[in-house]
Structure formats: structure tokens, C-alpha cells
Amino acid sequence: MTNPYQTPESSDSVVSLNSPYALLDEVYKYQKVAIFSEDTPWPKRCIKCNRETDQTHSLNLTWVNPWAYLSILLSIFVLIIVVLIAQKKFKFDVPLCEEHQQKRKNSVLIRWMIFLAFSASLISGLLLQIELLIFLSIPLFLGFVVYAIMSTFAAIQKFKNGKIWLRGADKSFLESLKSIM
């Protein structure tokens, strides 16, 4: 006869998010994000391709509660002040293979080149009073913004109860992690 009040047995691959100790020792997945505490050791696999690697890349990421952006309704200056006060900064190392480290470096280089082309076009257009250069700076700026968003390496989706929800990891890497209910 079984005890009806006995705690049900759980699977090793599924962890409850409500447990206060659940995320102190490992990286977990929930849908398309990796969930971890800031000092959690990562598995020695590249987060972009899931290949074995001993190399890591240091990430400095900032998170701001999305509700803070409503302050733009007051003014852009209020938004800047609220974001500067409300932001949380995180620094942690993620495993990244040589190939993906090089891809990230190239992406950063391309971003800087587009930004410098935008700056040169705008400044020279203003100084030389050439309207064509000023108008050329508009698509360069838009290209910079779009490329910066599209080439984002990883980003914090959420920060809740001391746990970071990181998006940007490869599907095969996420599938190798334990799941959270």
C-alpha cells in the first residue's frame, strides 16, 4: 500500500523554478533561455555550437526592467535618469569556442566601422555644409542600429529572484541542460 501523502518522485532532468536552491549549482534551461546565478559554473561546451571548449568569454551585460521605459512618456531626459538608476550590471564568463569568439570579434569590428562611417559622414556634411553627406548619415545610422540588434551575441531577457535569464544560446546547447518546469 502506498502513502498518499508521500512526495512524488521527480525526474533528474526537471527542476522546479520555485525551489530557492535550484539554481545555485548549475545552468538550467527554460524554453529558449539559459537560467543561472551570476557565480554559477558553466559546462565546458560552447554556448553557440555545443562543442567541447576550455575557452571562455567574459560578458558584461546590463539589464533594465522594461517598465522603466515608460518614463519616456515624460521626457527623454527622465528616461535616461531612470535607466541609469534602475539598471543592474552583470559580469560572468560563458564558454565560447575559437570560431565563435572570432565571429564575435568580427561583428564588433563591423559595428565600429559602420558607426565611424556614420560619424564621418555626419560631421563632414555639417562642417562642409554638404546636404548629401548629411542625408547619407541617416541610412548609415539606421544600418548601424539594425546590425547591432541583429548581431547581438547574448542578452539578458529577465532578472528575477537573483537568477539571470540569458537568451542567445544555441538550441543544441540548451537541449543538453536540465529543464525547469
- For every one of its 181 residues, what pLDDT tens digit does the chain have, with 9 covering 90 and above? 666 665 555 455 555 555 554 544 688 898 899 998 888 888 899 999 999 999 998 888 888 988 888 988 899 999 999 999 999 998 888 899 999 999 999 999 999 999 999 999 999 999 999 999 999 999 999 999 999 989 888 888 988 888 889 999 999 999 988 888 6
Angle of helix 131-150 relative to helix 98-128, nearest 10 degrees, comes to 160
Backbone dihedral angles phi then psi of residue 88, each to the nearest 5 degrees: -120, 130
Q: DSSP of 26-87, one letter per residue?
A: S-EEETTEEEE-TTPPPPSB-TTT--B---EEEEEEEE--GGGGGGGGT-HHHHHHHHHHH-
Predicted pLDDT of residue 12: 52
Q: Is 95 helix (H, G, I), strand (E, B) or coil?
A: strand
- For the full predicted model, state whether its pTM sits above 0.85: no
Grid cell locating 181? 518546469
Strands 28-30, 178-180: pairing kind = parallel
Predicted pLDDT of residue 41: 87
State the number of CA atoms in the 13 A half-sphere of 34 facing the CB: 28
In DSSP terms, 155 is beta-bridged to 167
In DSSP terms, 160 is beta-bridged to 163
Predicted pLDDT of residue 162: 83
Cell 548609415, located at residue = 140
Residue 25 is classified by DSSP as S
Task: Please give the single-letter amino acid code of residue 168.
Answer: G
Predicted pLDDT of residue 180: 80
State the number of CA atoms in the 13 A half-sphere of 131 facing the CB: 0
Cα of first residue to Cα of last residue in the chain, in angstroms, is 29
